[in-house]
């Protein structure tokens, strides 16, 4: 198990190094000069050159890369060109907000997805099974931004039940602790619902199809023949064996949720990392774009690593591979 | 009631004109295939009966009907004088204990993510007759009877050899003290020495525990070692039944003759 985890961590580190190179050079290849943003043509061109010098853009690319990597190793992602603040500070402000969206969305996706998949297998080949399949597929096919707009139109504009944007109300400071908690929850509802609804279909389909496949296996027939109850067969024997693909997909889907938060955060004016990436792209704010892209890539690696470790815990065949 | 019916009534288990059809999805319609056609046989308590035939002949389907996993489309199955239909609706849990099975691929019939101990505890939980504290002792005794070491209890199915896995399946079946043991090609995935070890083991269990043994196989050379009587299956029909020695020496049906002939070349 230890060797397995170490191998996974090592391959994760190699992947991150590759991503460092890729992210940095890809952004540098993009057209345009960050120093030209906000450049006033009436002023001398010296001011642009001065900015390039301050930001180190006049240096050869490999020197810039070396300086950037050295900075990262010291926990410094540089300074934002547009906000004039350290990137680390911006990330500290925005990452928790993004996680506040994505983690509950992921939890809802997994829990509801598993429940729906189980209902489908218990009611296999009935109208309920077909209805859940069609409904989750329909929701999955809807673009997240469109679903967000529909939800805002319904629950904010038409019924006025939920806020359409921001993390907190204007009167947040004057609220009691409990009211503050409720206020945050109310603001979370629509964006989290948008993110989780579009992805519930993936988990439920994996669970359903995995269980359909497993229910035909010999050990399930053997369990039925031994007289085990259908409940015990599904929960003790079948579900346990369906979890591996679900964990893998969930691990890979976490970074996807973080990436998709770009759109959701923009629509709901959520001050998260996704919104920061979009605003920084408009400003050609290289340090912020690279840092965010790099962090998203790290999330992919961490998601996959976590899924691999969880799979090893759930599946003894993976865990004991080294010993056999 | 003729003499054949009278004989069947004394039997532990009997089939009376059992038929079963399966539906297969075909292009824009469903295709129906007759898998078993008018199956009649009876087995006495403690007898070892083998079904022999090629793949797809319907041997496993007979086993699954006895286990209550398939419902016959027509005909009757009688167990200890009671209709299987009524047993499955009124005495299901009792019947599940009476009738146990082992399958072709032993590792595939053990849930891959459960330790052997957990797998062997399940039948005891189902029986509810033993105290929880006695589970370990009961399992250990049964393992020793079948020549298995208790160290296997901490292993997962993929860590066992084919022979060990099949013995574990047998232990699991025996823990419920069954009257009938259905062995659906239990040795086909094993090497020849392990195959005969398992056959010897099953035969001794049949004699010592007075088990009724139903043995499905396509290997005719196993018959003298395991079965008292044999039924020859061909395309869903039971074409010939009788004592093993009689069928092997004086086969009546052309298919049986060819089957015996072909086994001589193997």
SS3 content of chain B, % helix, strand, coil (to 5): 45, 25, 30
pLDDT at residue A35 in the model = 65
Chain B within 8 Å of A228 (Cβ-Cβ)?
yes
Residues in A touching B67 (Cβ below 8 Å):
224-225
pLDDT at residue A38 in the model = 57
Contact A240 B111 (CB under 8 A): yes
For residue A225, which of B105, B209, B18, B70 has the smallest C-alpha distance?
B70
- Chain A interface disruption, residue of B66, B71, B105, B109, most A CBs within 10 A: B109
pLDDT at residue A320 in the model = 65
Q: What is the mean pLDDT of chain A?
A: 83
Least confident range of A43-52, A95-104, A145-154, A257-266: A43-52
pLDDT at residue B261 in the model = 84
What would the pLDDT profile of B123-136 be if each residue is shown by its tens digit? 888 877 777 888 88
- For residue B4, is pLDDT > 60? no
Chain B within 8 Å of A218 (Cβ-Cβ)?
yes
For residue B195, which of B260, B203, B153, B208 has the smallest C-alpha distance?
B203
Selected from 1.10.287.70, 3.10.180.10, 1.10.3720.10, 2.130.10.10, the CATH number assigned to the domain covering A2-319 reads 1.10.3720.10
Contact B156 A316 (CB under 8 A): yes
Chain B within 8 Å of A26 (Cβ-Cβ)?
no
Q: DSSP secondary structure string, B33-49?
A: EEEEEEEEEEE-TT-EE
Which has the higher per-residue pLDDT, A50 or B209? B209
Please state the rounded mean pLDDT for residues A31-44: 63
Please state the rounded mean pLDDT for residues B224-241: 90
pLDDT at residue A324 in the model = 42
Q: What's the rounded Cα separation, in Å, for the pair A255 and A260?
A: 9
Please tell me the pTM assigned to this model: 0.74
Domain boundaries, chain A: 2-319
Chain B within 8 Å of A123 (Cβ-Cβ)?
no
What would the pLDDT profile of A168-202 be if each residue is shown by its tens digit? 888 878 888 888 889 889 999 999 999 888 888 88
Query: Distance from A227 to chain B by nearest Cα, in Å?
Result: 5
- For residue A240, is pLDDT > 60? yes
Q: Give chain B's domains with CATH numbers.
A: 3-265 (3.40.50.300)
Q: What's the rounded Cα separation, in Å, for the pair A144 and A158?
A: 20
What would the pLDDT profile of A65-74 be if each residue is shown by its tens digit? 888 888 888 8
pLDDT at residue B1 in the model = 45
ipTM of the complex: 0.80
Which has the higher per-residue pLDDT, A299 or A317? A299
Query: Distance from A308 to chain B by nearest Cα, in Å?
Result: 16
- For residue B159, is pLDDT > 70? yes
pLDDT at residue A28 in the model = 75
Which has the higher per-residue pLDDT, A77 or A34? A77
Please state the rounded mean pLDDT for residues B218-230: 87
């Amino acid at each position: 198990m230890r060797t397995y985890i170490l191998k996974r961590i090592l391959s994760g580190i190699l992947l991150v190094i590759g991503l460092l190179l890729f992210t940095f050079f890809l952004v540098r290849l993009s057209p345009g000069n960050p120093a030209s943003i906000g450049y006033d043509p009436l002023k001398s061109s010296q001011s642009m050159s001065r900015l390039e010098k301050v930001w180190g853009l006049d240096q050869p690319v490999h020197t810039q890369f070396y300086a950037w990597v050295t900075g990262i190793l010291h926990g410094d992602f540089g300074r934002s060109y547009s906000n004039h603040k350290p990137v680390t500070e911006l990330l500290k402000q925005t990452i928790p907000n993004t996680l506040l969206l994505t983690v509950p969305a992921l939890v809802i996706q997994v829990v509801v997805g598993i429940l729906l998949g189980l209902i489908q297998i218990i009611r296999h080949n009935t109208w309920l099974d077909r209805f859940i399949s069609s409904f989750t597929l329909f929701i999955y096919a809807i673009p997240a931004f469109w679903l967000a707009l529909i939800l805002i139109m319904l629950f904010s504009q038409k019924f006025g039940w939920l806020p359409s944007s921001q993390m907190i109300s204007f009167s947040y400071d004057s609220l009691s602790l409990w009211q503050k908690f409720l206020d945050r929850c109310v603001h979370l509802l629509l964006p989290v619902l948008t993110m989780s609804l579009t992805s519930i279909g993936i988990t439920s389909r994996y669970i359903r199809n995995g269980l359909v496949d497993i229910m035909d296996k010999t050990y399930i027939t053997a369990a039925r023949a031994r007289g085990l109850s259908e409940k015990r067969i599904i929960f003790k024997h079948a579900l346990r064996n369906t979890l591996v693909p679900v964990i893998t997909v969930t691990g890979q889907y976490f970074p996807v949720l973080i990436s998709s938060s770009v759109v959701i955060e923009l629509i709901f004016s959520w001050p998260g990392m996704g919104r920061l990436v979009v605003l920084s792209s408009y400003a050609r704010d290289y340090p912020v774009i690279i840092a965010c892209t790099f962090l998203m890539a790290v999330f992919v690696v961490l998601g996959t690593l976590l899924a691999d470790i969880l799979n090893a815990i759930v599946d003894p065949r993976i865990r004991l591979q080294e010993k056999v | 009631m003729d003499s054949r019916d009278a004989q069947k009534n004394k039997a532990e288990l009997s089939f009376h004109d059992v038929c079963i059809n399966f539906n297969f999805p075909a292009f824009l319609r469903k295709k129906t295939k007759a898998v078993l056609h008018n199956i009649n046989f009876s087995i006495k308590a403690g007898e070892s009966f083998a079904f022999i035939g090629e793949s797809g002949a319907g041997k496993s389907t007979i086993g699954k009907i006895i286990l209550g996993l398939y419902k016959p489309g027509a005909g009757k199955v009688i167990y200890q004088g009671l209709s299987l239909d009524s047993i499955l609706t009124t005495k299901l849990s009792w019947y599940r204990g009476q009738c146990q099975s082992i399958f072709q691929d032993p590792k595939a019939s053990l849930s891959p993510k459960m330790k052997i101990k957990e797998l062997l505890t399940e039948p005891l939980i189902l029986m509810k007759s033993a105290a929880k504290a006695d589970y370990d002792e009961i399992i250990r005794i049964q393992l020793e009877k079948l020549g298995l070491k208790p160290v296997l209890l901490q292993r997962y199915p993929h860590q066992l050899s084919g022979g060990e896995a099949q013995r574990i399946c047998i232990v699991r079946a025996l823990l419920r003290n069954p009257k009938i043991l259905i062995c659906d090609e239990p040795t086909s995935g094993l090497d020849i020495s392990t195959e005969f070890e398992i056959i010897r083991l099953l035969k001794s269990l049949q004699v010592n525990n007075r088990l009724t043994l139903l043995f499905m196989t396509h290997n005719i050379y196993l018959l003298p070692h395991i079965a008292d009587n044999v039924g020859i299956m061909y395309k869903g029909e039971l074409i010939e039944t009788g004592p093993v020695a009689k069928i092997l020496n004086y086969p009546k049906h052309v298919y049986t003759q060819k089957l015996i002939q072909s086994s001589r070349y193997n």
